[in-house]
Amino acid sequence: MPFRLHIRTTSYSASGLLQLDPATLTLPHEQEAAGFARQWLQGEEQFTVQTSGSTGAPKPIALSRVHMQASARLTLEALGLDSGDPALLCMNPAYIGGKMMVVRAIEGALPLYLLPPSANPFPELLALGVQPLFTALVPLQLQAILADAQSLRLLQDMKAVIIGGAPVSPALEEALQQVKAPLYSTYGMTETVSHIALRRLNGPQRQEYFVALPQIGLETDERGCLRISGPVTPKPVQTNDVVELLDSRRFRWLGRADNIINSGGIKVQAERVEAETQRCLASLGLSRRLLAGPLPDEQLGQKVALLLEGDRLESSVEKGLLRCLSNALPPYWAPKQILYVARLVESANGKIMRHASWQQL
């Protein structure tokens, strides 16, 4: 089955896209997706993609067609997707996650349905009478889908769903056990042409670690940070991601080296504090977006603090949370203070911007 791009009630074949002027489309995400698909179908060999800015200043990165094709092929094979399987693009097509959905659809001959990025795009699918078998979501979209019975039914019948853009919280991961469709957390970045490893989140095949796609090489440097090689990149990519490398294909992601808090000589990984905080909040019947980070301290140099989104917790709840964290975390890792902001700062594609969020204080 040949590739087709479905935009609202109009379906474009490859030849139709080549003749289409994307500027005639109404919405920015339609123009972006159709414009990129047109460039790909015209055979362009290099594409400039902007990083999200979630781990540093946004910057343009040049990616080659051959590496993007290799990434798409590896994902299609790993997920068992077949020609004709309908796919859904409901994230920002200006960034690598959205662009690679277009590449996978073209290279795999998947009909691609385009919807505007929103908290829950599935009601529009219901109106169109479409059941996609493959999509990519961010955790916030997944939470909204789980809360809507009709949307959840669409999710249940999918063949594969990949989830990226932010870590999946422990509470959300537990909620995903009601879903029978295979759900995968992704690990990757713009420099590696989206994900290079997957972690099954639900069902009997649920995993606690990421598994690299075939042909992807994994190593660590002296800091314990992951180095990636393979057909998706012209040279090895050295990351700042601290991992526990289990073998040549499996690893546990621990956090970023630049998010380590040095508290009195004790190195505290912010992401582990965040994950344990989510678990403790869930045990108290609560769910919040949050960050862990350092605050200046005269004795320790830095002390561990939490930044919670939303209203201040009641004093008794705060005490219960801190007590839970003292029991759950290694000695001297527990936060010393909880701070609040109305909303954490997000990038254009919905990723939490750590530095900018703390700067609100």
Nearest alpha-carbon partner for 93 in 84, 79, 83, 103 = 103
DSSP track, 284-353? TT----EEEEEEEETTTEEEEEEEEESSPPPHHHHHHHHHHHHHHSPTT-S-SEEEEESS--B-TTS-B-
pLDDT at 53: 65
pLDDT at 56: 65
238 CB neighbour count, 10 Å cutoff: 15
> What is the residue extent of each domain of the chain?
4-214, 264-358
pLDDT at 349: 76
Assess if CATH 3.40.50.12780 describes domain 4-214. yes
Percentage of the chain beyond pLDDT 90 is: 91
172-219 pLDDT, tens digit each: 999 999 999 999 999 999 999 999 999 999 999 999 999 999 999 999
28-76 pLDDT, tens digit each: 999 999 999 999 999 999 999 988 766 666 789 999 999 999 999 999 9
HEC string for 171-240: HHHHHHHHCCCCEEEEEEEHHHCEEEEEEECCCCCCCCCEEECCCCEEEECCCCEEEEECCCCCCCEEEE
Nearest alpha-carbon partner for 28 in 141, 114, 112 = 114
Kindly tell me the number of DSSP H helices and DSSP E strands found in the chain: 11, 20
Nearest alpha-carbon partner for 325 in 315, 316, 336, 311 = 336
pLDDT at 165: 87
First to last CA, the chain: 54
pLDDT at 182: 98
Assess contact for 287 and 322: CB atoms under 8 A.
Answer: no
CATH number of 264-358: 3.30.300.30
pLDDT at 2: 81
pTM for the structure as a whole: 0.91
